[in-house]
C-alpha cells in the first residue's frame, strides 16, 4: 500500500522587507546575507494575521483547490511552535473556521491536535498521519504546518524571519509522493533554541512592594510570553549537524545498505532556517558517507572543522549542492524561515522548480533531513509519483511570491513592535483576526476570526 502526499497548498505572508534594506539599516554588508546565507526577502505578517489565519487560509486553499470532501477527512493535525494559547490548539480554531465556511458539523467527527517540537513538529504530525492512513487506507488526513518566525530586533536571527503555512493531504495512492516506512531518528535534550516562560517582579512594574492585585494577577511575579526565542546560533548549528548526521546513519542502518544513500536521491530537502543552511550543514554527511571517507575521525576538533570548510568549498561539493540542494533553497530565499513549514516549503520549491523547468522526475527518490531544536532529527525518503505535475499545476508558487508587497524599514519596525494598528494591505479573499475579547469575564482573550471576500 502506497501512502503519501496527494495534494499540497501554501499561504505565505504577503508583506516582505528586502534583506538589503535590513542589512543597510543594521550596518551589515548586504552581500554577507544575500550571497553568504542566500537571503533576498523576509516575509512578515500584517496586523490582521497570525498563525491561525495562515493555517485557515492554507487549509481553505487545499480544500477548495482540490475539491476535497470534508466527510473523507478523519484528522487534521497541526505542526507549530507559534501557538496562540497554552491550552486551546490551533487545530481547534481551524475546525471552527472550516465549519463556518463549509457547513456546520462538517468536521465534527474529525480528530484534531497540535504537535510541538520546534521546527520538526510538522514532520511529527505527518508521520503520525501516514501511519494512520496506512492502517485506515480508505480514510484521509490533512497536515497543516503554520508558524511565524520572529526574532528580536538587532539580534543575529533577525534576518531569518518569515511567516506562513503549508498544508498537505495525506492519502493512499497519492498523486505527488509516497514515503517509505524507514525513519532514521536522533534525539537529545538540549537548550540550543527555546521559548521559555520569563518572569518579572510585580514590584518592578507597579512600584508597590505589597503584592497588590494587578490586572487580576495575584502572584508576586508576572509571567511574560515572547514570540522571540532564546538561542545560541553556533551551538544550534552544531546540534543541527549532530542530530542530522546521527539520524542519517540511523536511516542507513535501517536500510541495511553499504551504498552511499544520498547518491540515490534526486533532490535533498532539509529544514532551512535560512536558504543556505542545508548546504552548510550537509558537508559532514557528504564527507562521511562515501566508500573512502574524506574524514578519518582521528583529526583534532580544529582539524576536523578545517577539513569540513575545505570540503564545502570544493568544486565537487558545489556541484553536489547545485544538483541536489539548490531547488529547495529557491523559495526559502524569498520567504525566510517558516519553522515547521520550512521543510515542506522546500519540497514544494523543488517540485515547482522541476515543473517550471519542464523536468520529468517521476519515480525519482527525494531525501528529507528534518530538524527541530531541543533537539531532534528525522531522516526519511519518498518517491515521486506519475501524477505529480497535475497535482501541483495550479499551485503557482513562484508567481505568487513575485507579487509580495514590499514595505520600508520604518513600517517593518512598527509591525515588529506592534505599533502598527491598521492593515498595510486591505484583506481580500482571506481569513483575518477580527477581534480579541477584552470585556466579557469568561471570554477574556478569546480570539475571533472571519472570512473577508
Q: For the chain, which residues make up each domain, given as ranges?
A: 3-192+232-282+325-452, 196-224
Helix/strand/coil for 112: strand
- In this structure, the number of other CB atoms found within 10 A of the CB of residue 274 comes to 24
- In this structure, the number of other CB atoms found within 10 A of the CB of residue 26 comes to 13
Q: Which residue has the higher pLDDT, 382 or 304?
A: 382
Q: Does position 297 have pLDDT exceeding 80, yes or no?
A: no
Predicted confidence at residue 430, as pLDDT, reads 98
Question: Tens digit of pLDDT for each residue in 233-270?
Answer: 999 999 999 999 999 999 999 999 999 999 999 999 99
Tell me how far apart the alpha carbons of residues 364 and 104 are, in angstroms, rounded to a whole number.
42
Determine contact, residues 405/14, Cβ cutoff 8 Å: yes
Fold of 3-192+232-282+325-452: Peroxisomal Thiolase; Chain A, domain 1 (3.40.47)
The β-bridge relationship of strands 184-187 and 162-172 is unpaired
Helix/strand/coil for 450: strand
Determine contact, residues 240/274, Cβ cutoff 8 Å: no
Neighbour-count burial for 54-76, b at 16+ CB within 10 Å, e otherwise: bbbbbbbbbbeebebebeebbbb
Bond preceding residue 183 cis, omega within 30 of 0: no
- pLDDT-derived band at 388 (thresholds 50, 70, 90) equals very high
Predicted confidence at residue 389, as pLDDT, reads 98
Predicted confidence at residue 291, as pLDDT, reads 77
What sign results for the dihedral spanned by CA atoms 252, 255, 261, 262?
negative
Percent pLDDT > 70 in the chain is 100
Closest listed residue to residue 176, CA positions, set 328, 394, 391: 391
Determine contact, residues 240/189, Cβ cutoff 8 Å: no
Q: Does position 293 have pLDDT exceeding 80, yes or no?
A: no
What sign results for the dihedral spanned by CA atoms 65, 126, 250, 318?
positive
Strand ranges in 183-300 using DSSP code E only, listed in sequence order: 184-187, 193-194, 198-201, 221-224, 230-231, 267-270
Determine contact, residues 417/25, Cβ cutoff 8 Å: no
Q: Would residue 216 be called left, alpha or beta, if left means φ above 0 and alpha means ψ between -120 and 50 degrees?
A: left
Mean pLDDT within 363-376: 98
Tell me how far apart the alpha carbons of residues 402 and 290 are, in angstroms, rounded to a whole number.
40
Query: Mean pLDDT for the chain?
Result: 96
Q: Does position 367 have pLDDT exceeding 80, yes or no?
A: yes
Amino acid at each position: 500500500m502506497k501512502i503519501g502526499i496527494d495534494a499540497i497548498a501554501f499561504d505565505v505572508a504577503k508583506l516582505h522587507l528586502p534583506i538589503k534594506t535590513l542589512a543597510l539599516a543594521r550596518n551589515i554588508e548586504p552581500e554577507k546575507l544575500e550571497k553568504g546565507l542566500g537571503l533576498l526577502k523576509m516575509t512578515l505578517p500584517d496586523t490582521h494575521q497570525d498563525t491561525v489565519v495562515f493555517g485557515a487560509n492554507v487549509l481553505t486553499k487545499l480544500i477548495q483547490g482540490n475539491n476535497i470532501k470534508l466527510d473523507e477527512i478523519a484528522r487534521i493535525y497541526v505542526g507549530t511552535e507559534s501557538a496562540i494559547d497554552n491550552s486551546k490548539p490551533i487545530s481547534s480554531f481551524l475546525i471552527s473556521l472550516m465549519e463556518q465556511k463549509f457547513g456546520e458539523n462538517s468536521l465534527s467527527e474529525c480528530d484534531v491536535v497540535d504537535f510541538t517540537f520546534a521546527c520538526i513538529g510538522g514532520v511529527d504530525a505527518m508521520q503520525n498521519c501516514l501511519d494512520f492512513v496506512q492502517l485506515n487506507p480508505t480514510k484521509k488526513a490533512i497536515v497543516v504546518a503554520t508558524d511565524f518566525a520572529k526574532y528580536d530586533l538587532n539580534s543575529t536571527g533577525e534576518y531569518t524571519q518569515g511567516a506562513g503555512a503549508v498544508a498537505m493531504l495525506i492519502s493512499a495512492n497519492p498523486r505527488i509522493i509516497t514515503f517509505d516506512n524507514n525513519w532514521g531518528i536522533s534525539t537529545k535534550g538540549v537548550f540550543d533554541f527555546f521559548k521559555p516562560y520569563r518572569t518579572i517582579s510585580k514590584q518592578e512594574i507597579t512600584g508597590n512592594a505589597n503584592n497588590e492585585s494587578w490586572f487580576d494577577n495575584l502572584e508576586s511575579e508576572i509571567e511574560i510570553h515572547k514570540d522571540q526565542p532564546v538561542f545560541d546560533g553556533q551551538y544550534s548549528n552544531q546540534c543541527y549537524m549532530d542530530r542530522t548526521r546521527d539520524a542519517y546513519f540511523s536511516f542507513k542502518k535501517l536500510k541495511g545498505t553499504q551504498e552511499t544513500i544520498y547518491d540515490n536521491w534526486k533532490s535533498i530537502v532539509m529544514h532551512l532556517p535560512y536558504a543556505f543552511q542545508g548546504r552548510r550543514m550537509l558537508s559532514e554527511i557528504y564527507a562521511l558517507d562515501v566508500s573512502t571517507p574524506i574524514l578519518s575521525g582521528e583529526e583534532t576538533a580544529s582539524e576536523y572543522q578545517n577539513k569540513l570548510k575545505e570540503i564545502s568549498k570544493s568544486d565537487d561539493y558545489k556541484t553536489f549542492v547545485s544538483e541536489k540542494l539548490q531547488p529547495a533553497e529557491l523559495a526559502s530565499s524569498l520567504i525566510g524561515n517558516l519553522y515547521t513549514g520550512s521543510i515542506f516549503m522546500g519540497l514544494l520549491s523543488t517540485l515547482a522548480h522541476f515543473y517550471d523547468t519542464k523536468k520529468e522526475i517521476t519515480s525519482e527518490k527525494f531525501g528529507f533531513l528534518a530538524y527541530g531544536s531541543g533537539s531532534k532529527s528525522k531522516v526519511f525518503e519518498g518517491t515521486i509519483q506519475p501524477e505529480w505535475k497535475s497535482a501541483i499545476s495550479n499551485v503557482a508558487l513562484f508567481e505568487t511570491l513575485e507579487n509580495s508587497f514590499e514595505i520600508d524599514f520604518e513600517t517593518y519596525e512598527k509591525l515588529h513592535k506592534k505599533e502598527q494598528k491598521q492593515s498595510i494591505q486591505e484583506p481580500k479573499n482571506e481569513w483575518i483576526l477580527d477581534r480579541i475579547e477584552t470585556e466579557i469575564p469568561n471570554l477574556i482573550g478569546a480570539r475571533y476570526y472571519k472570512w473577508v471576500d
